[in-house]
DNA sequence: CCGTAATGCAATGTATACATTGCATAAAGT
DNA sequence: ACTTTATGCAATGTATACATTGCATTACGG
């Protein structure tokens, strides 16, 4: 699950801890999402979008081939 | 978790069962998402987008007030 | 060198997304 | 009346998102 959370977070000058507090999760969760190790829920994706003032497509869109790569990468 | 899955699904002429097969989940899961009773994962949101040829923002965006309403509605 | 801020990661527990099965109802065709 | 198709919903089990705690590393400032 690649995404643009880290770039967007740095762009609005927030640490992982601050973003975590803003969206109501732990720093650990933010870290794992940035690292692509979690498949976050829609609600959390939206909360992150609000916090960094960007859209779902801007932060979380990956095209179909990208997703397929994830699976066949194993 | 309000969304536009049902409208988009009907628009591309798929039944819940057919959409479920295309995205690799059960009909039950599609039904609950359309009814707003599940908070789907990003991967599933993306799979649905591919299946109905629309973007995350088109199908799943709800603005911040919408989310807050969900919480304070209970 | 020592303290602090920012991040990565590992172990374990809890909440919930999703699977599976089964039954009920409404609409359309025969 | 009977069958088929599409949908809703309830009960129970499994996988995983997320919480919690703790420790390690890097970088910066005293």
**Domains of chain A: total:** 1
Polymer length of chain A: 74
d(CA A53, CA B33): 25
Check: CB of residue A64 under 8 Å from CB of residue A71: no
Select the more confidently predicted residue: B68 or B27. B27
Enumerate residues near strand C (beta carbon within 7 A).
A 10, 15-17, 27-28, 31, 34-35, 41; B 24-26, 28-29, 33, 38-41, 43-44
Question: What per-residue confidence (pLDDT) applies to B17?
Answer: 96
Range of the domain at B53: 5-73
Question: Using one digit for the tens of pLDDT, what is the confidence trace for B4-48?
Answer: 999 999 999 999 999 999 999 999 999 999 999 999 999 999 999
**Where on strand C do bases come within 7 A of a protein Cβ?**
5-11, 16-22
pTM: 0.92
Question: What per-residue confidence (pLDDT) applies to B73?
Answer: 44
Select the more confidently predicted residue: A68 or B63. B63
| pLDDT greater than 70 at residue A70 | no
Question: What per-residue confidence (pLDDT) applies to A1?
Answer: 83
d(CA A44, CA A3): 13
Q: Which residues of A touch B (CB under 8 A)?
A: 1, 39-43, 45-47, 50, 55-57, 60-62, 64, 67
Among B1, B40, B56, B57, most A C-beta atoms within 10 A, so best to mutate, is: B56
Find the DSSP H helices in chain A. 5-11, 16-23, 27-34, 42-52, 56-60, 64-73
| pLDDT greater than 90 at residue B66 | no
Say which CATH number the domain at A58 has.
1.10.260.40
């Amino acid at each position: 699950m690649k995404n643009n959370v880290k770039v967007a977070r740095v762009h609005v000058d927030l640490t992982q801890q601050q973003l975590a507090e803003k969206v109501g999760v732990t720093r650990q969760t933010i870290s794992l999402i940035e690292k692509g190790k979690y498949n976050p829920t829609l609600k959390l994706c939206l909360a992150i979008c609000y916090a960094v003032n960007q859209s779902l497509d801007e932060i979380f869109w990956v095209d179909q081939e990208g997703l397929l790569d994830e699976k066949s990468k194993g």
